[in-house]
Amino acid sequence: MRKLFWIVCATLVAQFGLGGSTAVAALTFEGSGDPSVYPYYTSSADQGYQQLGDAFFFPVNGTIYQSNSVPSAFITTTVNETHNGATVSATAQTQYGGFYLARNKVSLNVTNAQSNDGYNVLAAQGSHTRGTFFTNDVDPASAVFHWHVSGTESSNYGVATARVDFLAGYYPDANYFDLYSNPDTRSLIGPGDFAYALPIVVGQAIDLFFNASAYAEVTAGIFPNGASLGLNADYSSTYELTSIDLLDSNGILLTEWSMIDSETGKVVFTQDGRVSVPEPTSLWLTAIGGVMATFASGRGRARCWRGWSLPKTS
């Protein structure tokens, strides 16, 4: 719960530009996304502290991003500083991997840790999008979303792990932060798998929400004064919506269907899995390459373009 509050609090104070930045000893906000509007993308790579007696951690270093148009491709935060006599070294990396696929990694090392302080680092990706299922024959009656989370973690004090929260349904007036209060949200802490079943309303767009994070935190007062803390949560392998089962009213699996993104009109998922599209970094590189090729060809003018279940836990 502390970690969830930290994510929500940090994002609420932000009016978030594009990722790819590195922040040291400062908290910056990029972009200008509105969480009450879809599509909504948010990501954060930040580090913070807690004082003894406080219920929550608050970020003080790093980058927090939000947008209503494009996810952040990659954010890295590196912190090396002295805090109340303790030496704190922390890193956080978050990467957008595609439609409901995220990669996050954090590490936290503290020497001469002060027992009246708590220490925290977080890397997270989240989104709210909409999609509609289309089939050529039988109408779908239900869908089952399959999630997989893999990675490694270690800690000598506190906790270092991953968490994914997922919500799917019909919420045309929802705010992104409803993900954290809706009783139908499904959550998984640490590596593993879970399935999310949803009745289908034919032809109606489905709202999809998720947040995937890696985090490490040591609460104030749980370690001896002057201790050395070492925590790592490497979930750069993946948090992934691996497959969707679309079923008819008799529970029979449908084998020819597609999910269309309501914003772009593009196919994002089929019975064969996620439809691969260039990630934001690849698109940027492709655009730059096109500009350079145009100049090299001697055309005299470059043409730039813009491509393009609190929750139940398992």
pLDDT of 122-158, one tens digit each? 999 999 999 999 998 789 999 999 999 999 999 999 9
pLDDT tens digits for range 68-104? 999 999 999 999 999 999 999 999 999 999 999 999 9
Q: Is residue 132 part of a domain?
A: yes
Q: How far is CA 87 from CA 154, 156, 160, 226, 228, in A?
A: 20, 17, 19, 10, 10
Q: Is the pLDDT of residue 260 over 70?
A: yes
Contact (Cβ atoms closer than 8 angstroms) between residue 191 and residue 160: no
In terms of DSSP bridges, do strands 186-189 and 312-313 run parallel, antiparallel, or are they unpaired?
parallel
304/163 same-domain check: no
CA–CA separation, 5 and 2 (whole Å): 5
Find, among 120, 109, 119, 127, the residue nearest to 35 by Cα.
127
188 with 62, same domain: the answer is yes
Give rounded-to-5 percent helix, strand, coil for the chain: 10, 55, 35
Q: Is residue 179 a contact partner of residue 71, using CB atoms and an 8 Å limit? A: no
CA distance 168 to 15: 26
Residue 271 inside a domain? The answer is: yes
Q: Which two tokens stand for residue 263?
A: 């914003």
25 pLDDT band (50/70/90 cuts)? low
The pTM (predicted TM-score) of the whole model is 0.81
Residues 145 and 164 reside in one and the same domain: yes
Whether 314 is covered by a domain: the verdict is: no
**CB within 8 Å of 72: residues ≥ 6 apart:** 18, 19, 20, 30, 31, 41, 43, 65, 94, 96, 125, 280
Residue 117 structural domain: 2-277
Looking at the fold, whether 246 and 273 belong to one and the same domain comes out as yes
- Nearest Cα residue to 72 out of 227, 272, 280, 290: 280
Tell the residue number behind the tokens 């219920």, with chain if given: 55
Q: How many CA atoms lie within 13 A of 223 on its CB side?
A: 24
Is 286 found in the same domain as 193? no
Q: Whose structure tokens read 């269309």?
A: 260
The phi and psi torsions of 12 (rounded to 5 degrees) equal -65, -35
Strand 27-31 with 58-67, pairing: parallel
Do 287 and 191 belong to one domain?
A: no
Task: Check whether residue 143 and residue 286 sit in a common domain.
Answer: no
Which residue(s) pair with 65 in the sheet? 30, 43
**313 found inside a domain:** no
Clarify whether residues 163 and 300 are in a common domain: no
For residue 264, is it within any domain?
yes
pLDDT number for residue 236: 92
Residue 230 included in any domain: yes
* Residue 185 falls inside a structural domain: yes
Comparing CA positions, the residue from 206, 77, 81, 210 lying closest to residue 140 is 206
Examine the domain organization and report whether 252 and 300 are in the same domain: no
In a domain, 167, yes or no: yes
**Over 90: is that where the pLDDT of 34 sits?**
yes
**How many independent structural domains does the chain possess?**
2
Share of the chain above pLDDT 90, in %: 74
Q: 101 with 148, same domain?
A: yes
Question: 286 and 140 in one domain?
Answer: no
pLDDT at position 136 is 85
Question: In this structure, are 189 and 83 located in the same domain?
Answer: yes
